Chain A
């Protein structure tokens, strides 16, 4: 049936090599065109055209294919159906809902199930906001659908279309394919506007212009929000060897960051991790909306055992969905775990194409692909005149945990925040194992106004001071490793003591603890400020010659280590009480020493 509709040539399979096949008779095919392959109608995409011969990457298992079977063009590039029904859903790498696949096959994913997408039967309660005679430009909103409890889908005129409204339906229940509005453009041509629109995954969706990113993505994770903040619309990478906490960190960001929409791409990773998300997310409440975080989440799962070509596509599928919500004026955060698996998919396909490899077998175009992906992040003025943003946070899995390999190196060139995970911290169960010496955020400067206005005047100053203290500690520890701690002078030992509090009490954040898994900025600041307070109190003592051993009150130190658990997120009075304890202890100690010294002086005077 498909054949008769298209009076194009039909390709004939001439070679099969894993996910890469070649066909003859394909001169009328287009580059990047979506095709169906063989009797099973596997889905594929044309990736090379040379005269009559075309090369296709196939998104499904190719076992069973024969030469001589047909390759049928679809006339369009690999595209997504964008509309209500994306949220709360989980898709494979080419946007097929895994729930629907499960209905077809209960356990395993079969090949040849064809192209599925968001539900086209479901009726959505639709409010049409456009009126007859309205002039609509691309990106303008013509209707509204409450897609989930927290997210309103703003129905947009697709890019490259505009005109005057000549027909509208009444408010009511419609499917995503129903024609809701008709517009007529300047050339008197009519365009039908539906809830759903299609968009090719490899083409970035247009926007009016890029804006500056001035607001942080608040994640509730202390080491990120205070030390290495990510701007909304910015880019970040989380590299780390296996088991250092990339996925945990990405999950934490997906759960708690203050984006409107989360797009989470499990790219070539474990099936169980996606299952965990499906089981866990619906039960977690978003601190902003108070509703389940699933209400704002889209999941893409191309697990490591799924076909490798679809893994390559999954990244683009995810970012295109992100752009769709950005265009509605939402702040979207996209997590890709792991971009290295995507790069490896590129490498595998490239190898099968017998392309000339560059470093470590990766194709020479690896850097440009990575750059193109991260460039799709950004804060923009949308075509419709709103403000939207996409923040991209990519996990990187360096071979051998060595950051000098091509994917990490090239990612580093194109992202502004680098959250380096450290094997030794992970071994010591210091989580999140983000190494504060190697990590950086390029957004400190542009975000400092925001922090000053919204958190505290001295927030960034405090951050810098505490970070310097950690740098100082690192130097001192190198010395300690050579000569032992005992030989250090007291002021340096005091730095070690305070640094330990920062590390254990502040930087370590337990994702499994109810109170600690997400911490509001106010508490993040207050905690750090109180550590500074302790530090300074101790320094007063040091000036009087009080030894570190006496400055360290076990009870107070213990309170600092535990304050993340003991001080509730919504009641910071405990921090004030802690300060009172500090005052009491040090006032007494200092007084004792002053008196003692006074006595000494008197004694000297007497003699």
Chain B
């Protein structure tokens, strides 16, 4: 019989400290029972020092005080019941149903922290997922099993973009494979969550979606468990039930802020901008749960969304994320302000896994050439634009004027596309060729002669 404790020594933010505790283990889950109402909050042991124990409480600690609660050590790690019935359901950040449905019962339980995947057991992801969005499919191709975040900023249409990807991506419908979506909302506004719910039901996939929701006004500490619960569900569906799972998670910035808040409550030595030194490892423990396995059919494709504070890509949150994920899709405010949707800033965007998933047999043999050339030419456009701001577009050389025209067309026709518009990869590549033909052939040094012969025709 596990002991129960009545005395709380200290409450600091989301942490409580109790003393004279015996026989608890690191990571043990505790129930904090309100004596008056009987309501239960969950917490977890995060530090043991002799008989003193620090517990991180996942719900609000307001009102907690010595004497009004019972601390009960459960003898369990943080486990969640796993079942196919998770699909179509909505849970809070600690995995309790909030959709008035019944609790999930299952003999299978999984620790939400997961365990590191052995690199020997992984399979290198290689399959192209068509999202129907030209900028992504052509320039930062999404690969099944990839972790590819959207780096956004406040007020930018990252939710729309994520919803469009969920709606249009060929996750498995056509191939007869089973797919699912796991959606985690971390510290989001109610409106945002509603938007996603609406778009899932419009896409008729609500039955395939598992949702974990921590609203902006929900407790901070629950943000730590929300992504873990979601990824645990995703792992179960992908690797036990052979499904192709797309995990959409927003907003990772709220997650990191929660991490910082708890770290500072623990009085840890901060690294950059007050974020804890272990934030890289902590984020990696989440992101690395994506992928494919050699002897399992399913996959986890991971599309986290984060908002860059002040649109600053060097801020620790996007910075550490970029160091872990397999590329990034960056949204640009200037494009957004010019009403270009989706405002994908292509130059800093990157998909590290696309190299093996494009080309002959996957997309089309000219894909790599077109990608490289569009990047090179569009990056030249930036230089020419800077110059034209100084000397005026009139005084640009003939070639530079063509770059200006190419840049405008590229943004208006290639980047810009409707929220409901889906272009297949062939259409996108053809569009790329058409735009490149605005430039003199001599400027196109990334294209092979064979591809030029086959696809290039100069517009008059």
Contacts and interface: CB of A to CB of B under 8 A. Distances in A.
Given A14-B50, A341-B280, A428-B379, A481 B119 contact: no
B413 interface: no
A202 to B, nearest CB: 22
A236 B47 CA distance: 40
Contacts of B25: 63-66
B368 A512 contact: yes
Contacts of A351: 268-269, 277-278
Interface in B352-395: 352-353, 355, 368, 372, 375-376, 379-380, 383, 386-387, 390-391, 395
B4 interface: no
Contact of A308 (B278, B368, B396): B278
A354 B350 CA distance: 39
Contact of A400 (B77, B125, B272): B272
Contacts of A16: 26, 47-48
A272 interface: yes
Interface in B414-444: 442
Given A344-B281, A427-B348, A274 B48 contact: no
Contacts of A107: 117-118, 121, 239, 293, 296
Contacts of B397: 484-486
B119 A303 contact: yes
Contacts of B296: 107
Interface stretch (B8-16, B207-215, B315-323, B332-340): B315-323
A61 interface: yes
A361 B270 CA distance: 6
Given A67-B48, A270-B288, A481-B386, A397 B323 contact: yes
A476 interface: no
Interface stretch (B89-97, B108-116, B191-199): B108-116
Nearest to B115: A108
Nearest to A357: B269
Interface in A561-594: 561-562, 565
Interface of B: 23-27, 47-51, 77, 111, 113-125, 239, 268-272, 277-278, 280-281, 284-285, 288-289, 291, 293, 295-296, 314-316, 319, 322-324, 326-328, 347-348, 350, 352-353, 355, 368, 372, 375-376, 379-380, 383, 386-387, 390-391, 395-397, 442, 445, 448-449
Given A66-B23, A242-B319, A361-B270, A274 B119 contact: yes
B161 to A, nearest CB: 20
Contact of A108 (B118, B125, B314, B395): B118
Contacts of A235: none
Contacts of A114: none
Given A304-B280, A400-B319, A481-B386, A275 B123 contact: yes
B303 to A, nearest CB: 16
B291 A428 contact: no
A171 interface: no
A90 B119 CA distance: 9
Contact of B120 (A17, A99, A480): A99
B322 A109 contact: no
Contacts of A303: 116, 119, 284, 288
10 contacts: A61-B115, A62-B27, A63-B26, A64-B27, A98-B118, A274-B119, A400-B316, A481-B390, A504-B445, A562-B445
A186 interface: no
Nearest to A486: B397
B322 A242 contact: yes
B390 A304 contact: no
A294 B225 CA distance: 41
B26 A65 contact: yes
A106 B294 CA distance: 10
A2 interface: no
A419 interface: no
A484 B396 contact: yes
Interface string A68-82: 100000000000000
A272 B291 contact: yes
Contact of A554 (B51, B113, B372, B442): B442
A41 to B, nearest CB: 16
A271 B347 contact: no
Residue with the greatest number of chain A CB neighbours at <10 A, chosen from B116, B396, B445? B116
A360 B271 contact: yes
A428 B348 CA distance: 9
The list of the 6 closest CB pairs from A to B, nearest first, reads A304-B284, A63-B27, A242-B322, A400-B314, A108-B115, A428-B379
Nearest to B359: A512
Given A272-B125, A484-B395, A64 B280 contact: no
A266 B116 CA distance: 15
A504 B50 CA distance: 63
Contacts of A397: 323
Contacts of B379: 427-429
Contacts of A64: 25-27, 77
Contacts of A67: 24, 48, 50-51
Contacts of B387: 480-481, 484
Contacts of B315: 400
A348 interface: yes
Contacts of B113: 63
Contacts of B380: 428
A349 to B, nearest CB: 10
Nearest to B316: A399
A60 to B, nearest CB: 10
Given A428-B379, A485-B397, A401 B391 contact: no
Interface in A510-536: 512
A279 interface: yes
B127 to A, nearest CB: 14
Contact of B122 (A65, A271, A401): A271
A306 interface: yes
Given A270-B324, A481-B383, A109 B319 contact: no
Interface string A132-145: 00000000000000
A98 B269 CA distance: 34
Given A15-B50, A268-B281, A483-B391, A304 B288 contact: yes
B286 to A, nearest CB: 8
Contact of A348 (B114, B122, B277, B319): B277
Contacts of B284: 268, 303-305
A22 B448 CA distance: 63
Nearest to B279: A344
A499 B113 CA distance: 53
Nearest to B290: A272
A92 to B, nearest CB: 9
Contacts of B119: 90, 98, 266, 271-272, 274-275, 278, 301, 303
A101 interface: yes
A512 B295 CA distance: 28
A238 to B, nearest CB: 14
Given A106-B121, A243-B350, A271 B288 contact: yes
Nearest to A511: B355
A153 B380 CA distance: 53
Nearest to B352: A243
A52 to B, nearest CB: 13
B445 A561 contact: yes
A268 B295 CA distance: 25
A102 interface: yes
Interface in A448-481: 480-481
A271 B117 contact: yes
Interface string A347-370: 110010010010011000000000
B277 A429 contact: no
Contacts of B368: 512
B118 A101 contact: yes
Contact of A361 (B24, B271, B327, B391): B271
Interface string A240-268: 01110000000000000000000000101
A58 to B, nearest CB: 10
B387 to A, nearest CB: 6
A189 interface: no
